[in-house]
Amino acid sequence: MRNIKIIEVRSEIGAGTRGASLGVDAIKVAALDFMSSLFVNIPTEVIPDENKLLYEPVESPYAKRIKGIYTMYERIAASVTETLKSGLFPIVLSGDHSTAGGTIAGIKMAKPKSRLGVIWIDAHADMHTPYTTPSGNMHGMPLAASLGEDNTENKTHKLDAVTVDWWNKLKGIGKIQPKVLPEDLVFIALRDYEKEEEALLKKYNIKVIPVQEVRKKGVENVVRQTLLHLSNCEEIYVSFDVDSMDSSISRGTGTPVSNGLREREAEDIMATLMQNHKICCFEITEVNPTLDKENLMAEIAFNILQRSVNLLLVN
């Protein structure tokens, strides 16, 4: 039986749409509606946010609010490290996906000698850098930071020295770089990315399992294939962005994309993964109740969370 700790991160400074900071509380409302005691029985830590920066001018157009993101990385990394070192399993509930780089840093700082695999269940690749970003929003960059990647061969922007300095600090957090190797990364449900990110997918031959493959081969086969690909990793982190699901379900998120996973497929993937002893942390992110109707997205996210927790407790 694994002892779990929930880490709540109500940060939305990395997103272009407002409201993701309310996602954690929307999931808690769903728990109440389903009369679940999950949030009563499991210890919780709340990470202070930097959302006040949303009211201040943006200093770096190609890495918006990067100083605040760096602060969040430090706080989350410290919490995840301490949680793992205490023998607990961290479940991170986050606002926008930018802070996942902090989660990865925390795992790596707790287990610096372990090879870390990452399963990124998301419609988007999140491998932009300040050199390539079309928006400057940092929720499109956590994997590039974790890979220690600049992607300057595909750059579209010339950066000022301050932005370069902060980006280098972000990549180097925890004094380990890179934190993840490209061959230790698997995308599931990826379907919306720019040519600069596609260049990295091809350059490193990164494993991508599209939605059609999940449907054709079935969840168990796909999970087996994923874990086989990461068989050289001692630890595996799973990041679940709700926009991995089809836009007909995932209206309550900032960047919905069609042709995504069905609710049951997403739930089964997470549940099957949670039965593997190498999974050391998972994250649910990008629930935005301001874009939703009747808290549907948060209810689906809660169902995935509840089932995953139940399996962690028995395995």
Cβ distance 290 to 22 under 8 Å?
yes
- Among residues 49, 122, 196, 268, the one annotated as catalytic is 122
Instruction: Based on the residue annotation, tell me whether 150 is a catalytic residue of this protein.
Output: no
State the sign of the Cα–Cα–Cα–Cα dihedral 169, 104, 159, 55.
negative
- Among residues 126, 197, 292, 299, the one annotated as catalytic is 126
**Residue 295 — φ and ψ, nearest 5°?**
60, 30
- Among residues 8, 197, 241, 246, the one annotated as catalytic is 241
Instruction: Based on the residue annotation, tell me whether 139 is a catalytic residue of this protein.
Output: yes
Helix pair angle (296-314, 23-33), 10° resolution: 70
Cis peptide before 178 (omega within 30 of 0): yes
CA dihedral 141, 177, 76, 93 (to 10 degrees): 50
Cβ distance 24 to 56 under 8 Å?
no
- Mention every residue, 6+ apart, whose C-beta is less than 8 A from residue 41: none
Indicate the residue type of 180. Answer: V
Instruction: Based on the residue annotation, tell me whether 246 is a catalytic residue of this protein.
Output: no
Rounded alpha-carbon distances, angstroms, from residue 134 to 50, 78, 124, 140, 141: 23, 31, 13, 9, 11
Sequence-ordered strand ranges (E) for 189-261: 207-209, 235-241
Instruction: Based on the residue annotation, tell me whether 277 is a catalytic residue of this protein.
Output: no
Instruction: Based on the residue annotation, tell me whether 160 is a catalytic residue of this protein.
Output: no
- Among residues 12, 184, 196, 243, the one annotated as catalytic is 243
- Among residues 8, 124, 150, 184, the one annotated as catalytic is 124
- Among residues 12, 196, 268, 286, the one annotated as catalytic is 286
Instruction: Based on the residue annotation, tell me whether 243 is a catalytic residue of this protein.
Output: yes
Instruction: Based on the residue annotation, tell me whether 122 is a catalytic residue of this protein.
Output: yes
- Among residues 139, 194, 265, 268, the one annotated as catalytic is 139
- Among residues 97, 128, 235, 268, the one annotated as catalytic is 97
Instruction: Based on the residue annotation, tell me whether 97 is a catalytic residue of this protein.
Output: yes
**Residue 273 — φ and ψ, nearest 5°?**
-60, -40
Helices (H), 205-295: 211-217, 219-229, 263-273
Residues that are catalytic: 97, 122, 124, 126, 139, 241, 243, 286
